[in-house]
Structure 1
Amino acid sequence: MPFPRSISHEARAMLIRAVRADGVPLNTLHVLPDPADHPAWADLKTAADAGYAVAMEGIAGSLRATVETITVGAARVHVATPEGVFDARRAYIDLHGGALVFGGGGACRTGARMHADQHRVRCYGIDYRTPPEHPFPAALDDCMATYAHVLAHHAPADVVIGGRSAGGNLAVAMLLRARAEGLPMPAGLVLLSPQADLTESGDSFAVNRLVDVVLPGSLAATNLLYANGADLRDPLVSPLFGDLSGLPPTFLQSGTRDLFLSTTVRLHRALRRAGVAADLHVFEAMPHGGFGGGTPEDAELRGEVTAFVEGVWGRSGVKIQT
């Protein structure tokens, strides 16, 4: 599939680096184990998390926020605090990506620092438990425990929840469960290419197969490993199929080459039908998870997210506290 010249030079270079000379995405070389082979998954998760952490080291060197790790129930939570003056009343909850299996540890810790710097608030990065040791609903339990902890320290209107990919799944599922348990909704929700449909029923799972250089094929193996026998259409497993009424204003992002484009588009329409204020941003030729940072498109997306968060908090005239 030719790479368009309608995107920045930096973005096009990223797409070119992600494929072999014959155009096949390098990520197709990674074969996932059978869902029943738990030792193989444990080994893969250790290797993948180490790789994520190394990839984030370069970013970590430029961050200013400090971070401490606390335990909330069975969850580890990385609490990042911006350097200097910041808005102490407000909080951002970050749910990391990684196909509901990977992305914890050092990468999650660095992600919390990134969001603290970006939004100038305290960020709670949930290092939720993952399979094969801890399948559904362990991650969701960790998110719920952390949300209750955050609400004990911040008013609901001062909280925004954000999730990328698998984190987007957990962000929506957490709010469906929070609503059922009588907990208040946060001020806003940020969903970056959310993995909200583990049945993979949307059009782009066929159309963008091998077109998405980051996520070139199905995640059925990780989905089954995570669900551990639960119905993949259960709204707490695939929140696209839930009753979304009453959720807070939502920012959604995808790209024309994203394997999860259909899921994001369908979730946006479902939110709108449920009466939720929802904005959808689709970027030209962007694969799953963005272009990897350092491109004008990634900077534009970051600016859009920041503006959305500022807007739901109505920050104009708000006094910044230390």
Structure 2
Amino acid sequence: MSDRKHGVAIPARLVPFPASVSPEARASLARLVSEEGEPLNASYTMPLPEDHAGWMAVKAVADGQYATAVKGLAGTLRSSVETIQNGDVTIHVATPETMLKADFAYIDFHGGALVFGGGDACRAQARMQADQHGAVCYGVDYRMPPEHPYPAALDDAMAAYRHVLKSHVPSRIIVGGRSAGGNLAAAMLLRAKAEALPMPAGLILLSPQVDLTESGDSFQVNRTVDVVLPGSLMRNNLLYAGGADLSHPYLSPLFGDLTGLPPTFLQSGTRDLFLSNTVRMHRALRRDGVDAELHVFEGMPHGGFMGNTPEDRDLAEEIFRFVSRISGEASR
């Protein structure tokens, strides 16, 4: 029996930026590609999982990049923010300038490949969510590896959820996360269900990292085509897991029993490396009887077009509509 892999042989070719997206979106894609057609992010190589010193050096560089991005938001964020400590977890509580949804809470889990994106970036994101939804946002600044591998982040997620439940009824809570944050948002609800905690009113998963085994089709089909996330995050996944089974539902929520989870909003793009994560999670939720809606955007890479494009605004409006519907239903 041959060990040869069977599949589709694709000759070397240039994949053009789609004419079917806005000029702003095409410009966003172009900024992330060299003149030779190589995604700029493909030049970054993550350390081996056991190279903790190497990971700390990469985190320092990433923190500097996030700091620059946060400075660029100066003057655009209107909400106030207070940082609190609840046991081991840091929570940034952002209060909007204008409260549109009284007694409503949005729990936000930041992205960053399970390793990056905490601190000031998490704090700024909490303020952005508070501004967008007109509701109090709890940005969970969960612990991350290499200092704190699994289950530290999930423990922090649970502690944050229990904290929010003390001041908000479950029907007035929405949980959301982008990329790695989507992993934690979904895993937290699976564990909350196992621990007999009530479910929130809704769940938002934006290009969620819900399969750390990377078994989906788009991990091959969209490799390199996704200019934001051009390749595997397996080294990050193994570092995060700290030796635990990557297929366990608390690490890969896609493989869990999703029965009883709240109405869920899922988003991805046709060029997103995590497209398979998102569409498979949608089907799994539907099979388990969960009200789930899927939004796939044309030409969009992982995390969106990273700017003020019509597509990014369309996505923000869809999320606002979902939150408004859920909060309206909860208030009846």
- What is the TM-score with the length of structure 2 in the denominator? 0.94
**Partner in structure 2 of residue 305 of structure 1:** 319
User: Secondary structure at the residue paired with 2:225?
Assistant: coil
Tell me which residue corresponds to 1:151.
Answer: 165
1:47 aligns with 2:61: yes
2:28–2:307 CA contact under 8 A, matched in 1: no
Structure 1 residue 60, shift from structure 2 partner: 3.9
| 3-state SS of 2:84 partner | strand
Structure 2 counterpart of 1:314, one-letter code: G
1:182-206 Cα shifts (integer Å, max 9, x gaps): 1000000000000000000000000
Q: Which residue of 1 aligns with 2:50?
A: 36
Alignment of 1:1-322 (within 5 A): 1-314=15-328
Q: Taking structure 1 as reference, are residues 240 and 85 closer, same or farther at Cα in structure 2, changes over 3 Å only?
A: closer
1:86 Cα offset (Å): 4.1
Amino acid at match of 2:267: Q
CA distance in structure 1 between the partners assigned to 2:253 and 2:331 by the alignment: 36
- Displaced runs of 4 or more, over 2 A: 84-88, 315-318
> C-alpha offsets along residues 223-257 of structure 1, whole Å, 9 cap, x if unaligned?
00000000000000000000000000000000000
The offset of 1:88, in angstroms, is 3.6
Shift of 1:317: 8.2
Q: CA deviation at 1:54?
A: 1.3
What is the count of residue pairs matched by the alignment? Answer: 318
* 5+ residue gaps, structure 2: 1-14
Question: C-alpha displacement at 1:61, in angstroms?
Answer: 2.1
Compute the displacement of 1:179 (Å). 0.3
Deviation at 1:83, TM superposition (A): 1.1
Q: 1:286 and 1:68, CA in 2 relative to 1: closer, same or farther beyond 3 A?
A: same
What amino acid does structure 2 have at the position aligned with 1:242?
G
Letter in 1 for 2:104: R
Q: Secondary structure at the match of 1:59?
A: coil
Specify the code of the residue in structure 2 equivalent to 1:4.
P
Q: Which residue in 1 is equivalent to 2:10? A: none
Alignment partners' CA distance in 1, 2:227 and 2:262:
32
Letter in 2 for 1:231: D
Q: 1:271 to 1:315 in 2, by over 3 A?
A: closer
Residue 72 of structure 2 aligns to a residue whose secondary structure is helix
- Residue 12 of structure 2 corresponds to none
3-state SS of paired residue (1:76): strand
Contact 2:201–2:330 under 8 Å retained in 1: no
Deviation at 1:85, TM superposition (A): 4.0
| C-alpha deviation, 1:314, in angstroms | 1.1
Q: Distance in 1 between matches of 2:143 and 2:330?
A: 37
- Give the Cα separation in 1 of the matches to 2:306 and 2:16: 19
Match of 2:197, SS? coil
Name whichever of 40-49 and 150-159 sits farther off: 40-49
Secondary structure at 1:11 match in 2:
helix
Superposition TM-score, scaled by structure 1 size: 0.97
Give the superposed CA RMSD.
Answer: 1.2
In the aligned structure 1, how far is the partner of 2:203 from the partner of 2:210? 14
Kindly indicate whether the alpha-carbon contact (under 8 Å) linking 1:60 and 1:110 is maintained by their aligned counterparts in 2. Answer: no
SS in 1 for 2:17: coil
Q: How far apart, CA to CA, are the structure 2 residues paired with 1:39 and 1:86?
A: 45
CA–CA distance in structure 1, aligned partners of residues 254 and 133 of structure 2: 28
Q: Is the 8 A contact 1:7 1:284 kept in 2?
A: yes
Q: Letter of the 1:181 partner, please give it.
A: E
Q: Which moved more, 1:2-11 or 1:44-53?
A: 44-53
* DSSP 3-state at the match of 1:314: helix
Q: Structure 2 counterpart of 1:17, which letter? A: R
